[in-house]
Amino acid sequence: MDRVFEKAFMAVVRKQVLLNNTVTLEGLGSFKLEHIKQKASKSDAGNAVMTPPKDVIVFKQQKEKK
């Protein structure tokens, strides 16, 4: 894949997903924004560690039609 096309494609997908739009590629799947909540866990030393909330772009593969 041409590097210029790849960068332009990812810029368009990222912009649309950050605008809370789902980007669907027919026959492949879709990109969407998913919110990960804050959570607490314990470190190896036993200290409480808070993981901050964040938004991530996820890709979900389209199921094959049979």
Under 8 Å between Cβ of 42 and 50:
no
Task: Give the model's confidence band at 1: pLDDT under 50 very low, under 70 low, under 90 confident, else very high.
Answer: low
Q: How far apart are CA 58 and CA 14, in angstroms?
A: 11
The pLDDT score that the predictor gives to residue 58 is 94
Task: Mention the CATH class of domain 3-61.
Answer: few secondary structures
pLDDT by residue (tens digit) across 5-34?
A: 999 999 999 999 989 999 999 989 999 999
Distance between first and last Cα of the chain: 29
Positive or negative, the CA dihedral 13, 21, 52, 37 is negative
pLDDT by residue (tens digit) across 38-58?
A: 999 888 888 999 999 999 999
The pLDDT score that the predictor gives to residue 66 is 67
| AA identity, residue 21 | N
DSSP class of 46: S
Domain extent listing, the chain: 3-61
